[in-house]
Amino acid sequence: MNREDIEQTVRHSLARIAPEVDMTAIDPDAGFRDQFDFDSMNYLSLMLDLDKALGVHIPELDYPKLSSLSSCVKYLEGLMNDESRAG
């Protein structure tokens, strides 16, 4: 899965969790909580949805590393590359 595929997956997960968010207006570098009404339950739901959608495990301690679109993509790209090398 390439970077663009990962970004699309994150956007799709965001759309499922927060359907009111205009996906075209997201600033990739701004935190989700800074851009729209995203509470801790939305955030947890996003992490779980990404786990499922990508078939990876995101450790709870790493959740803060996925606070924006660009940080999600960067983290998940690294995680998936590490898992593909290990397996």
- In tens, the pLDDT along 3-41 reads 999 999 999 999 999 898 888 899 999 999 889 888 899
Helix, strand, coil % over all residues of the chain, rounded to 5: 70, 0, 25
The model's confidence at residue 87, banded by pLDDT at 50, 70 and 90, is low
Question: pTM surpassing 0.75?
Answer: yes
DSSP 56: -
| Number of folded domains that form the chain | 1
The SS3 assignment for 68 reads: strand
The amino acid that residue 55 corresponds to is G
The CATH number that applies at residue 20 is: 1.10.1200.10
- High-pLDDT (> 70) share of the chain, %: 94
- Residue 31's domain spans which residues? 3-86
Among candidate residues 21, 28, 27, 17, the one with its CA nearest the CA of residue 72: 28
